A and B are shown apart, each in its own frame.
Chain A
């Protein structure tokens, strides 16, 4: 507290009357071991909640497409763009979208990361390659997030041409994971 009393902010407040509480309450730090070794009182709760989300109209067509090895987009004629992932309305002009189109399963890497963290922030030694893929038949900067595979982490770069690698047809279930990953196209 001696340090904080030198702070002009503290002096300014003191001029307004008696402080009833120290400023910048220091708090008490809890360590991981305090919990593990039960050095502090605490209560514990592990929620068990389950959900089943229906995919909705637009994503239903998209997921059915994946089962057939097709990536489906839908166009907004007013904004002259193909929306992928698809939706029943365009969020910008707020009109309905119109015609379903296949955007192909090839594209370029819009951006990527080489991750040494898994989904729970645990460290992993073999990195996960993840990124956004812009499809050849969709407008620039319109794509989806997915994994990269058969890819050298030293060679991955923005703008690299990639192609989807699909699960065998009998293993597809109408999920984004029906695409295993995107791999570099020949010559990349």
Chain B
């Protein structure tokens, strides 16, 4: 297999509803990544597009609809999709295009326009449920995560020896950290330098235990990434960032038949990635991470799945400040989904581009102090069952 380097990253502003079409957003993000790498369309061998359910954009064959904006006209092109996992899965698919030797340079573009679904994209989520068992109950997607949050919180409170109320406070600290981290991000939708735990706990209850500020917002946006093979990387940079490893794993669709306290599919994906990346001791060998944080508790749930701490103890790590940008293990230094926004697939911008920007010293105000050499990004999708993990390293 070929070693694969990241040589460019791009991202658009994330907003609730943007006037730009999906093609235009894809163009802006891809163009930024190409400028960063110093290449033009003719240099790109293949293109991977990542975009989540067609129902948001309201266009079936969404990949075909978006391809012109993704510099793919006249090139080998594929769209991949696994719900929220897409933001890391598309770069995994891009990686194998280059690792396999079939492409020297591969562009990955991720796009989402949730604002098209009017008046609220929640309506599109109604179509993802099992038609026989779940849909007659008229479920709301937030219920699903509220139930997982509750199960996790009860387990974590017990494990840490604190009350459920105290545990909910510590979980709320994730929103505070990420919305403050996002202040340095030029694309952020929900950055807030002054937010407090009280604000989170006192925001409206959506579906207990989920309050409004526990949730990342639906957004429009796009992100892009450019890979090249180690064989040609000398043309672009003297200090390359490489993909250390990738991993992905999916659990059964029968989510009511497993204990939701721990995402074992995340652990499976992380182990697959770490093995390839030579990460033997995750807490020692990983310098910072971007676990998927569409909800506050998910950052913690995913840290545990990624083996960055003991089961049920990620909230304590957060409370003790270890996950701050200047902490022992910075978590979501980008500001994550909670701070920057959640245009599903386009969160590749926070989960993978951010790793590249941090490792290349291009993260601006978000730069982690010290000398980060290994960063891990992770996304989560389908119905609480899919995990996608990627590790980037410098040199």
- Chain A contact residues, CB within 8 Å of chain B: 3-4, 6-9, 12-13, 16-17, 19-21, 23-32, 35, 40, 45, 47, 51, 53, 55-56, 59, 63, 83-85, 87, 91-92, 110-121, 127, 130-132, 140-147, 158, 175-177
- Contact status A32-B207, CB under 8 Å: no
Among B147, B256, B367, contact of A113 (Cβ-Cβ < 8 Å): B147
B: interface residue count bin: 35 or more
Q: How far is the CB of A161 from chain B (nearest CB, A)?
A: 17
With a cutoff of 8 Å between Cβ atoms, the chain A residues found around residue B367 in the complex are: 8
5 A-B pairs (CB sep. < 8 Å): A91-B252, A110-B151, A112-B150, A116-B205, A116-B208
- Contact status B139-A119, CB under 8 Å: yes
Chain A proximity mask over B12-43: 1 for CB below 8 Å, otherwise 0? 11011111100001001101100110100000
- Contact status B122-A121, CB under 8 Å: yes
With a cutoff of 8 Å between Cβ atoms, the chain A residues found around residue B220 in the complex are: 27
Q: Given the complex of chains A and B, what is the CA–CA distance between A29 and B219 in angstroms?
A: 11
Known contacts A4-B186, A158-B154; is-contact A111 B147 (Cβ 8 Å): yes
- Contact status A27-B257, CB under 8 Å: no
Most buried by A among B131, B146, B210: B146
Known contacts A8-B364, A21-B28, A115-B207; is-contact A121 B120 (Cβ 8 Å): yes
- Chain B contact residues, CB within 8 Å of chain A: 10-13, 15-20, 25, 28-29, 31-32, 35-36, 38, 58, 115, 118-120, 122-123, 126, 131-134, 136-140, 142-143, 146-151, 154, 186-187, 204-210, 220-221, 252-254, 256-260, 357, 360-365, 367
Q: Given the complex of chains A and B, what is the CA–CA distance between A181 and B149 in angstroms?
A: 22
Q: Given the complex of chains A and B, what is the CA–CA distance between A83 and B254 in angstroms?
A: 10
With a cutoff of 8 Å between Cβ atoms, the chain A residues found around residue B134 in the complex are: 145, 176
- Contact status A21-B35, CB under 8 Å: yes
A-B contact number at CB 8 A:
196
Most buried by B among A16, A35, A40, A47: A16
Among B35, B132, B205, B208, contact of A59 (Cβ-Cβ < 8 Å): B132
With a cutoff of 8 Å between Cβ atoms, the chain B residues found around residue A87 in the complex are: 254
- Contact status B139-A145, CB under 8 Å: yes
Q: Given the complex of chains A and B, what is the CA–CA distance between A19 and B8 in angstroms?
A: 14
- Contact status A111-B137, CB under 8 Å: no
With a cutoff of 8 Å between Cβ atoms, the chain B residues found around residue A17 in the complex are: 35, 38
With a cutoff of 8 Å between Cβ atoms, the chain A residues found around residue B207 in the complex are: 113-117, 130
With a cutoff of 8 Å between Cβ atoms, the chain A residues found around residue B31 in the complex are: 20-21
Closest to A36 in B: B119
- Contact status B126-A119, CB under 8 Å: yes
- Contact status A16-B38, CB under 8 Å: yes
- Contact status A8-B361, CB under 8 Å: yes
With a cutoff of 8 Å between Cβ atoms, the chain B residues found around residue A16 in the complex are: 35-36, 38
- Contact status B136-A175, CB under 8 Å: yes
Most buried by A among B11, B31, B357: B31
Among B15, B204, B205, B364, contact of A27 (Cβ-Cβ < 8 Å): B15
- Contact status B13-A25, CB under 8 Å: yes
